Chains A and B, each alone.
Chain A
Amino acid sequence: GDSVTQMEGPVTLSEEACLTINCTYTATGYPSLFWYVQYPGEGLQLLLKATKADDKGSNKGFEATYRKETTSFHLEKGSVQVSDSAVYFCALSRGNAGKSTFGDGTTLTVKP
């Protein structure tokens, strides 16, 4: 079946440091890939997505590129802020009855 594996956390960075959160997936066909962010006490919010190989999703300074050859969708940001502290989830969807597969989440803490 489908699966998503995320880099284990927690991750702690200083403000303005570079961020990479690794995500790899297993799925048949050509899934759409997503990153969601969850701030404390809130539901998940879509951060960015990519729907086909070599697509780059971007939003709020975050980027991720759909790499089919390595089945990866790593999340990157060049300079993190304290306000980026949250839990980040990688996910895929193949349209199989509309269900998505989520990774376990990676907790990011950014210190001033």
Chain B
Amino acid sequence: NAGVTQTPKFRVLKTGQSMTLLCAQDMNHEYMYWYRQDPGMGLRLIHYSVGEGTTAKGEVPDGYNVSRLKKQNFLLGLESAAPSQTSVYFCASRTTTFEQYFGPGTRLTVT
């Protein structure tokens, strides 16, 4: 079991560029999440999915889009990156008893 994996681990973008972060889980979990973590801000939920083909907005969804075409994958897209999106991004999936499993994170810098 690989658990939750994230690709890439690091990325530097210029303002206005686009990119997609990939999250994959092999635990057959229905629920998946994208968070961002910033110093002094804790974890903030960007988008989440309660099953294949579904997505919903979290508390900070602006500037991001997501897709869940396959149950095991949850993609996070940045259409036009801004310096305010410099952050560490974590993907997580959840068991039926609410335990979350997190990926190792993607460190994104937007210059």
Contacts and interface: CB of A to CB of B under 8 A. Distances in A.
Chain A: interface size category: 20 to 34
Contacts, number: 58
Interface in B72-107: 90, 92, 94, 97-105
A44 B48 contact: no
A43 B45 contact: no
Contacts of A43: 4, 90, 92, 102-105
A22 interface: no
Name the interface size band of chain B.
20 to 34
Contact of B104 (A42, A97, A104): A42
A95 B98 CA distance: 7
Interface of A: 32, 34, 36, 41-46, 49, 51, 89, 91, 93, 95, 97-100, 102-105
Contacts of B61: none
